[in-house]
Structure 1
Amino acid sequence: MPDTPFPRAVITRRTLLTAAGAGAVAAALAACTADAPPVPTPTAAPSPTPWSPPSEPMRFPTGFTWGAATSAFQVEGSLAADGRTPSVWDTFAARAGTIRDGSTGEPAADQYRRYEEDADLMASLGLGAYRFSISWSRVVPTSTGTIDSRGVDHYRRVIDALAGRGIRPAITLFHWDLPQWVQDAGGWIRRETADLFAEYATACFEAFGDVDADWMTLNEPKTHAYVGHWYGAHAPGLRSSDVAAAAVHHQLLAHGRAVERFRLSGAAGRIGIALNLIPVYPTDPAQPEAAVRVDARENRLFLDPVLLGTYPDDAVGGEAGQLPADPVTFTGLQKSGDLETIAAPLDFLAVQYYGVTGVNPGGRETQVAPTSAAPWQQVLPEGLYDLLTRLAADYPAIPLLITENGIPDRSPAVTVDDPERLEFFRTHFQQAARAISDGVPLEGYYAWSLLDNFEWAEGYTQRWGIVAVDFETQERMPKRSAGFYADVIAANAVPPAKHTSWIGSINPRAVAG
């Protein structure tokens, strides 16, 4: 925490109504659907006084899910194995200058071949669930649409390995690795990609629908749209705000169609979407207008269509803080019935939380909290509480899962000594428990990430795992944070102070390190 707390007037649907022009915004929100929920009454900004945890452990509800997460391209390796064809990330990484250390997704953490070993590791930590993604390029490797049984069989083996150890699968259908053959046909710029995704999703539901799993249609459509299609720093490396807006709508349409297919398939389990959300704090609470627009761009552009069936009218346009795309063109992408499809009822909302942002009156994002080794990540544990309570207050009731939350090591060197991550987890677990005690329907938490892995444009220069991976030998070494996490899971509670104990069943090399 900064020595002097900043004004914590987090932007919510409530504080939105205190901004200039609030009457028009409120009217637009209320008019979007005939049965829209009532607009909450404006309330005062949260107190800037830091929250103090109790002196006793904070306990979680019986049955709370503790898990860890990865994604296919970041951990699998074996990029040419068993018929897999390239994704946009294979193509992007092959371009000079796109990845910080010039690396690729080979070998990553070699999980395609080492999934049994990793399942044993998960069991030793006491994990009750594992979130992983399916590589679309392994299941549907070509434009013919033919399903490759080798890819299906691989993921069946992964699921069986988890089930055999009592670990619940949490399956993400799309974690940014769009098949290159889909990109060659236009990718998320084209509406037809939503149809292709629905067909791929149907194949997965048919193959694995007997499994009681938590399914996520998309991982962070915002990041994929903005960083991959607007900033150009991620695959496919495009740089157009209008293209990014199209990627937003077509991804969300794909999500809705996959949810519809899930219901028709009769698959077991539950389905939701994973959205990365960020509390937005105006640096001057007396002038929150630009922060309201940043909140619309970062949060409500995704939450509102999925949970309310409408797009906010202040997210896209030419004003400071908006996605600078043509709002008329964006509206033109929306065909009759699209929003009803996008808002298909969900079983849960997956929330991915990494930190907060500040916005000055001119619309510029500013630092308002300490950063991690990832310069974009402003760490404020209380922001997680603000986010969770905002979701519970501003949107229809829905179970919540935290499906990503984590921090990178300070050095790219292999290490098992990660006190910063341990303290990060402790303080964030406390805020999660605090939110639950205040009535938020939070049902689970997944640490990002299980393993050190290929960190997108950063290559292997950032390590986010609770388990260290030596990429030369592929040896796995649980870090101190993994031992702390195992203790939290065993107790189903987070301790009040810095924690140094260790579960004896974990690899003792982590202690010696």
Structure 2
Amino acid sequence: MTSPFPHLRSDFEFGVTTSALGIEGGADREGRTPSVWDAVAAAPGRIVDGTTGADAVDHHTRYGPDIDLLARLGAQSYRFSVSWSRVQPGGVGPPNPAGLAFYDRLLDRLLEAGVDPWVTLYHWDLPVELMMQGGWLDRDTADRLGDLAVVVADRLGDRVRRWTTMADPVLHMGYGHAVGVDPPGLTLLGEAIVVTHHLLLGHARVRAVLAGGGHQVGIANHHTLVGSASDTPADRTAAALYDSYHNRQFTDPILIGRYPRLLQNLLDRQDGLVQDGDLAAISAPLDFYGVDYFHPTTVAAAPENNSIPFAIIPTPDRPVTDFDAPVEPAALTAVLVELTRRYPRLPPLFVTENGAAYDDRPGEPDTARIEYLRAHLAAVDDAVAAGADVRGYFHRGLTDAWEGTEGYTRQFGLVAIDPITGERTPRASYEAFRASIAGHRGPPPG
């Protein structure tokens, strides 16, 4: 059999990625307490379609059929997050047995289906009680995340081999704490470097808990290929600053043990933020590094007296998704190759999240999503051919989901969800991904 992706390893992993916030539902079941997202979603006007995500897509009760879909797809791996408020209500204190029992059932069913679970410890759903105590502005929150890791590892660690400390911390810092689009809605701008450092400490605490014992530990962060709007010095300077902000603010401390030079002025304003031993802990070796990629970004100089020193503008001459995200598969290749070039200590790479939202109509083939998927798989193959050590690809997501501030208005899933009945219907892209997996690895058993 000839693979459509000739440069990928024979044991290259294909999987899907989800988050507890987006799919679980059951917000008031089994002792779960509110997260910052529950609090914000309850406020009028914060979610574009007025939904709260309390039910999400009811994976909490429909996980069995969802896992059957994973198995039929041929996915080797399933990356999901635990709900902090379900496992440890309030974010401190003893674990919640009923909440942990849900993840027991989920793991056992995954393993029965032959699907390898990847657990993400933190995907933005901070318990409200911890936010009231300062949230990620408080250094102690990093220790509380370490406590969560102990609870989860003690209960689930016998069945979970690979762990992601957190997902997309640069977006959580930026959208939630710098510009205030997401919860907790803070507009700290450059002062959000405090949140960056405390998130990195949280990553370090989780890594220290999970390392060893046969576990593999990594992080998944959002990356983009940054382009300058023009060759003018002002635009090029703005693009370089944005690259440091978005692509290097977390990755440099993790992989080389220091912050980017262009962000040093932000650190200099925060006396005592970086303490002795912090960067050594943050840069402890990882078993893999996860890249979440969706689109490139074009940057121009900001207007004079703007509070943000760069401006993101539409990327020219590129097709876009139904929600105006530019589509450029070659940018994924470039991101993977650039990470390989920039960081000598880079562990094996996984594309831990990639996908596109389209406004699909029921019964119509989602041709654009299929083209996006195939082109980005080919881009990963190109990156491997160019020397990047990429070991796997995870699509976002298995099903449609509740997408935070966008509610249910954006569909990323390989499987459509009926908004009334919750019925799962595989899209044409599900079959296309299934065929791609089978074309590389052979058809799934059964």
| Alignment partners' CA distance in 2, 1:237 and 1:361 | 25
Correspondence 1:123-162 to 2 at 5 A = 123-142=71-90, 144-162=92-110
The equivalent residue for 2:126 is 178
| Alignment partners' CA distance in 1, 2:290 and 2:273 | 26
Mark the CA change 1:449 to 1:415 in structure 2 (over 3 Å): closer, same or farther: farther
| Alignment partners' CA distance in 1, 2:71 and 2:204 | 34
Pick aligned residue for 2:20 from 41, 65, 72: 72
| Alignment partners' CA distance in 2, 1:138 and 1:161 | 19
Shift of 1:391: 0.7
Matched, 1:338 2:278: yes
Mark the CA change 1:73 to 1:56 in structure 2 (over 3 Å): closer, same or farther: closer
Matched, 1:188 2:136: yes
Q: For the aligned residues, what is the CA RMSD?
A: 2.1
Correspondence 1:72-471 to 2 at 5 A = 72-142=20-90, 144-263=92-211, 266-285=212-231, 287=233, 288-315=236-263, 317=265, 326-330=266-270, 332-361=272-301, 363-368=310-315, 369-375=318-324, 377-395=325-343, 396-411=345-360, 414=362, 417-471=365-419
Tell me the matched-pair count. Answer: 432
| Alignment partners' CA distance in 2, 1:200 and 1:56 | 41
Amino acid at match of 2:4: P
Report Cα offsets for 1:239-294 as digits up to 9, x if no partner. Answer: 2225522211111110011111112xx44331101110111112334632221111
Amino acid at match of 1:120: D
Mark the CA change 1:128 to 1:493 in structure 2 (over 3 Å): closer, same or farther: closer
- Conserved? CA contact 1:88–1:235, under 8 Å: yes
Shift of 1:300: 0.8
Amino acid at match of 1:74: G
Amino acid at match of 1:174: Y
Shift of 1:106: 2.3
Shift of 1:381: 0.5
Of the two, which has the highest radius of gyration?
Answer: 1
Report Cα offsets for 1:316-363 as digits up to 9, x if no partner. Answer: 65xxxxxxxx44234631111111111111000010001111123554
Report Cα offsets for 1:22-52 as digits up to 9, x if no partner. Answer: xxxxxxxxxxxxxxxxxxxxxxxxxxxxxxx
Matched, 1:61 2:9: yes
Shift of 1:152: 1.2
Mark the CA change 1:504 to 1:473 in structure 2 (over 3 Å): closer, same or farther: farther
Amino acid at match of 2:22: Q
Shift of 1:105: 1.0
Mark the CA change 1:63 to 1:493 in structure 2 (over 3 Å): closer, same or farther: closer
| Alignment partners' CA distance in 2, 1:176 and 1:131 | 15
| Alignment partners' CA distance in 2, 1:480 and 1:504 | 18
- Conserved? CA contact 2:74–2:444, under 8 Å: no
Mark the CA change 1:267 to 1:208 in structure 2 (over 3 Å): closer, same or farther: farther
Alignment gaps of 5+ in structure 1: 1-54, 318-325, 495-502, 507-513
Mark the CA change 1:315 to 1:379 in structure 2 (over 3 Å): closer, same or farther: farther
| Alignment partners' CA distance in 2, 1:196 and 1:106 | 24
Report Cα offsets for 1:430-450 as digits up to 9, x if no partner. Answer: 110111122211000000011
Q: TM-score, length-normalised on structure 1?
A: 0.81
| Alignment partners' CA distance in 2, 1:364 and 1:482 | 36
Q: What SS is found at the alignment partner of 2:269?
A: helix
Amino acid at match of 1:370: P
| Alignment partners' CA distance in 1, 2:441 and 2:116 | 20
Mark the CA change 1:364 to 1:233 in structure 2 (over 3 Å): closer, same or farther: closer
Q: What SS is found at the alignment partner of 1:332?
A: coil
